[in-house]
Amino acid sequence: MSYANLTYDVADRIATITVNRPDKLNALNDATIAELGLAIDAAVADPAVGAVILTGAGRAFVAGADISELASQTPLIAQRRARAGQAVFRRFETSPKPTIAAVNGFALGGGCELAMSCHVRIASEKAKFGQPEAKLGIVPGFGGSQRLPRLVGRGAALKLLLTGDMIDAVEAHRLGLADEVVPVDALTERTRALATTMLVNGPLALAGCIDAVQRGLDTSLEEGCRIESDLFGVLSATADMREGMQAFLEKRPATFTGR
Ligand code: COA
């Protein structure tokens, strides 16, 4: 599969999706969003892939939806565009394989929303985050008004949404929007190291953790605990559980097969 607006590479069981429109600061036009959907589907379907890193080419992660496309949208096209983007971003969020955003620069609007749809966000010291949609006379369209308060709380989310201000990586980290801040030159290495640490663990367990957190966040504590206990039960039927516990008892590293 070749992409016009992305690059897609797999090495050491890690798929790296790089949004590649650097002259437009990787702004997400409709075509790029569609390709992101194809790329995450390819990564999820590929048994040789265990984790996904999402990043941007050049000085931006993603500087938002492509304003040149938004500028002429009608209400129905805008609604369809938002829903199509939301569906693609949701695939990053519900991927059974960990998705990690390596935020190398501007993560604004749709870029911040895309990063928030990943399971973990590692920011370089040069990263900048923000939801500037109100400056354009719109609200976020790709889930930002929903994921931001879930990540940083209502007050901090509304402050960012209502001002449209950009914040730096350190402030994003303080708010819980970025999970780590690393020097620019260390971003790739640190993100890959994090993915590699996850890949040592059982793939069914990784999928189960993601599923429990995602579904649990959308429901009551009681229902979330039921989801967890069901997954706990199901995983106890797997060869991976037997291998993980046997390896511990035999004081050796586990070899998981995802069965
Ligand atoms: N949509 C379309 N094009 C965009 C874009 C976007 N969201 N963000 C940047 N670009 C384009 C610029 O138009 C410019 O293209 P040009 O060289 O053909 O004129 C190019 O990317 C470089 O951007 P520029 O504004 O010149 O860089 P800068 O360093 O001066 O400013 C930003 C960087 C990120 C502060 C600025 O580009 C910006 O505010 N972008 C829009 C952010 C936004 O509102 N996102 C939410 C959209 S809903």
Question: By alpha-carbon position, which residue is closest to atom 26 of ligand 1?
Answer: 24
In the set 35, 69, 93, 113, the catalytic residue is: 113
pLDDT exceeds cutoff 90 at 250: yes
In the set 35, 93, 133, 223, the catalytic residue is: 133
Task: Name the residue ranges covered by the structural domains of the chain.
Answer: 6-199, 203-249
Please, which pLDDT band fits residue 64 given cuts at 50, 70 and 90?
very high
The CA distance from 209 to 240, in Å, is 14
Do 99 and 121 contact (CB within 8 A), yes or no? no
pLDDT, position 227:
98
Radius of gyration of the chain (CA): 19
CATH of domain 6-199: 3.90.226.10
Which fold is adopted by the domain 203-249? Lyase 2-enoyl-coa Hydratase; Chain  A, domain 2 (1.10.12)
Residue 67 Cα, ligand 1 centroid: separation in angstroms? 8
Question: Tens of pLDDT along 166-208?
Answer: 999 999 999 999 999 999 999 999 999 999 999 999 999 999 9
pLDDT, position 18:
98
Do 149 and 158 contact (CB within 8 A), yes or no? yes
Tell me the two tokens of residue 79.
């609604």
Please, which pLDDT band fits residue 1 given cuts at 50, 70 and 90?
confident
Question: By alpha-carbon position, which residue is closest to atom 2 of ligand 1?
Answer: 66
Residue 102 Cα, ligand 1 centroid: separation in angstroms? 20
